[in-house]
Amino acid sequence: MSKKIINMPDLTAKNAIDFCYNDYHVEDYDEVVFDHQYLGTVEPFGMLLVGSKIRNLVKKNKNIEFSDINFKEKEYAAHMGFFQSVYQDYGKKPGEAAGSSKYVPITLLKVKELKLESYERKEEVQETIERKSTQLAKVLSQGKKNLQEILAYSIRELIRNIVEHSTSETCWFAGQYWPTKNKVEIALLDEGVGITQALGFNPNLTINDDRDALLLSIEPGISGRVFKHKGKMRGQTNSIWDNSGYGLYVTSKICQEGGNFLICSGCYALAINDKYHRFFETNFKGTAIRMTLNTSRLNKFSTHLINDIVSEGERSARTNADKSVITASKVSRILNILEEDKK
């Protein structure tokens, strides 16, 4: 019986992106073994992205026997639900760990169940999302009101994107607060159609590849359902939730103020902070997002920060609405200016 051994790396963001980029060619083997001997650092985004890649490999190759070795001493990953998320019967199941003021374990949110809950509570699904997002934000905000507001807004808008645009049946999320590093990380992932296809509904956009799609996704008013085409507004329902299309923009801007933003979809991942933007090659059909904030820079996170960013975005969105064709070049130029200014 032919066997392939895959050495598992530390579950950092960059390692996870590289892991997804590798094809592995497992179809040529009878057995595949994931060796966790060298697994050390474990982060929320890394767990979600690598977990999705492994699940996809298993689902696509049902005739192959998959197994794990050297994993039983990896207690943090086990407690967070990583091994159970990749079909290994060890540790906590996703969402089983109680969580604390320092972490949110890997959690699987099913879209159908979310919609059923909103129906039973007689509320719009966006209200259900807002309530759950506030609960998550409270866990990781350490009692800091301004951080809680920012986390709640970002989590809400990122989950809304998944429910409204991805066609994914599931949303995976996890979070961690490291007091010694003054760092909080939130990671969300869906296994839906990806950014390029999700933006394809808007006839005003020119998208040449996944890099273009990622750049456009962080432009205000682009990813929402409401847009102007041939002089008329399309997709408008006069709902208070019509203002979607600002979530990725606002979240990426917040992270530029005091942390890092990473979005991964299709063949690329885009990383942004206040010093640079950078593309990495990968291979992930859905969409995975990582936001990190430096809690020692909380003075930047005023209660007016979101409103200021949204106001700036609304001005930019009005300019975009008047254009018959919108390309990624504008966003790319802005990010290039940002990169040059910080050199």
236 within 8 A of 321, measured Cβ to Cβ? no
Residue 113 Cα distances to 26, 37, 108, 163, 167, angstroms? 34, 37, 11, 11, 14
pLDDT at res. 9: 95
The pTM is what? 0.88
Query: How would residue 343 be classed by pLDDT, with cut points 50, 70 and 90?
Result: very low
Report the alpha-carbon distance of residue 168 to residue 287 in Å, rounded. Answer: 10
Domain count, the chain: 2
% pLDDT > 70, the chain: 83
- Give 275-296 pLDDT, tens digit per residue: 888 999 999 989 999 999 988 8
Domain finish residue from 40, 61, 93: 93
Two tokens at 302? Answer: 């005023």
Mean model confidence pLDDT for the chain: 85
Instruction: Quickly state the pLDDT bin for 268 (edges 50, 70, 90).
Output: very high
Alpha helices in 121-246 (DSSP H): 125-140, 145-161, 195-199, 210-217
pLDDT digits (tens, 9 = 90+) for 222-249: 754 544 444 444 444 444 445 556 788 8
CATH code, domain with 129: 3.30.565.10
**CATH, residue 46:** 3.30.750
Per residue in 78-100, pLDDT (tens digit) is 999 999 999 999 999 999 998 78
Mind listing the pLDDT tens digit for each residue in 163-178?
887 789 999 999 999 9
38 and 57 fall within a common domain: yes
pLDDT recorded at residue 247: 81
pLDDT mean over 101-130: 92
Exposure letters 85-122 (e unless 16+ CB within 10 A, then b): bbebeebbebbebebeeebbbbbebebeebeeebeeee
User: Which of 43, 62, 93 is where one domain is finished?
Assistant: 93
Instruction: For residues 108 and 82, state if they share a domain.
Output: no
Block residue for tokens 């933003």: 261
Please give the pLDDT value at position 117: 93
114 contacts 101 by C-beta, under 8 angstroms? no
Examine the domain organization and report whether 78 and 129 are in the same domain: no
Structure confidence at residue 338 as a pLDDT band (50, 70, 90): very low
- Whether 15 and 89 map to the same domain: the answer is yes
* Residues 81, 203 within the same domain: no
249, 251, 245: which is closest to 301 by C-alpha?
Answer: 251
pLDDT of 331 reads 57
Residues 70 and 165 in one domain: no
Tell me the angle at which helices 145-161 and 125-140 cross, rounded to the nearest 10 degrees.
Answer: 140
Same domain, 68 and 160: no
Q: What is the mean pLDDT of residues 307-323?
A: 70
Maximum mean pLDDT: which of 197-206, 211-220, 322-331: 211-220
pLDDT of residue 313: 76
Neighbours of 241 (CB within 10 A): 16
8 A C-beta contact, residue 172 and residue 107: yes
Q: Mark whether 210 and 245 lie in a shared domain.
A: yes
The last residue of one of the domains, among 93, 126, 160, is 93
What is the pLDDT at residue 307?
Answer: 78
Model confidence at 303, pLDDT cuts 50, 70, 90, reads low
Residues 64 and 116 in one domain: no
35: phi then psi, degrees, rounded to nearest 5: -100, 115
Do 34 and 68 have their domain in common?
yes
Percent of residues, the chain, with pLDDT higher than 90: 54
13 and 127 together in one domain = no
- Is residue 218 predicted with pLDDT exceeding 50? yes
**Domain containing residue 157:** 98-343
Question: Do 13 and 138 reside in the same domain of the chain?
Answer: no
